[in-house]
Amino acid sequence: MTPCYLMNSHPQLPLGLALSDSARFNSYFPGQNLETVHGLQQSATGSGETLVYVVGAAGMGKTHLLQAACYDAAQCGRTTGYLPLQELRAFNATVFDDLEQLDLICIDDVAVIAGQDDWERGLFDLFNRVRQSGGTLLIAGDKRPDQAGFSLPDLVSRLGWGVTYVLKPLDDEAVIAALDCRAQARGLQLPEETAQYLLRRFPRDLPTLFALFDTLDTASLIEQRRLTVPFVKSVLDNNR
């Protein structure tokens, strides 16, 4: 795991927080979301919008994109911070203190603080400080700011100042293409009928399907078997 790009001196952040090594823009299958990916790439390097809000349902890759932005920014020498609010709920709004010193701040799962006055005020104050410092703020949530349940009107207003991208789900053809790319990267062949079988049996979100594929990849290497439907069925039935 790559150490999370957070200020080492920040007293409120857990030491184990880390970014995923696989979260890169080139490993994200965009489908109809190329505009979003390009926009985030530009913001990460400091050449794009300074406030971006990404909306998408669970499993659509919001976390992947924010962490990829952190990686690209760090590669350009920018200081970055990634805050998954779902994991930081046990703390308090002081996790936002001094983050305006960073060049790029990525805030994930923002809707979990909706309706909590101290957290909303903390994010509102951070927004204003980042505007003054000239930094970049990337935020992700499952709903638009005006639909997320925030109780602070000024926060809703501020979050709407920048660019909002709404992630579009992948259709079946794109999901199969993404799985095929995953297979080719590992030197495997994924027959069309096997891909269709996975789509019929399991949720179509890529994190679920990629996790299944990791299981199949391991089994295929151990048993030296091709990813045929009977083999896939036997592996997945044994792993229930």
| DSSP character at residue 4 | P
Closest Cα to residue 67, out of 111, 120, 104, 34?
Answer: 104
24-33, 154-163, 170-179, 209-218: which has the highest mean pLDDT?
154-163
Average model confidence (pLDDT) for the chain?
87
From residue 196, alpha-carbon distances to 28, 168, 203, 236 in Å are 21, 21, 12, 15
Q: What's this model's pTM, rounded to 2 decimal places?
A: 0.82
- pLDDT above 70: residue 234: yes
Per the DSSP assignment, residues forming a β-bridge with 166 are 55
**AA letter at 35:** E
User: What per-residue confidence (pLDDT) applies to 214?
Assistant: 85
Nearest-angstrom CA–CA distance, 167 and 69: 16
Count CA atoms within 13 Å of residue 56 on its CB side. Answer: 25
Q: What is the pLDDT of residues 152-207, one digit of tens each?
A: 999 999 999 999 999 998 888 888 888 888 788 778 888 999 999 999 888 878 88
233 vs 206, residue with greater confidence = 233
Q: What is the pLDDT of residues 91-122, one digit of tens each?
A: 899 999 999 999 999 999 999 999 999 999 99
Residue range 76-99: average pLDDT?
Answer: 91
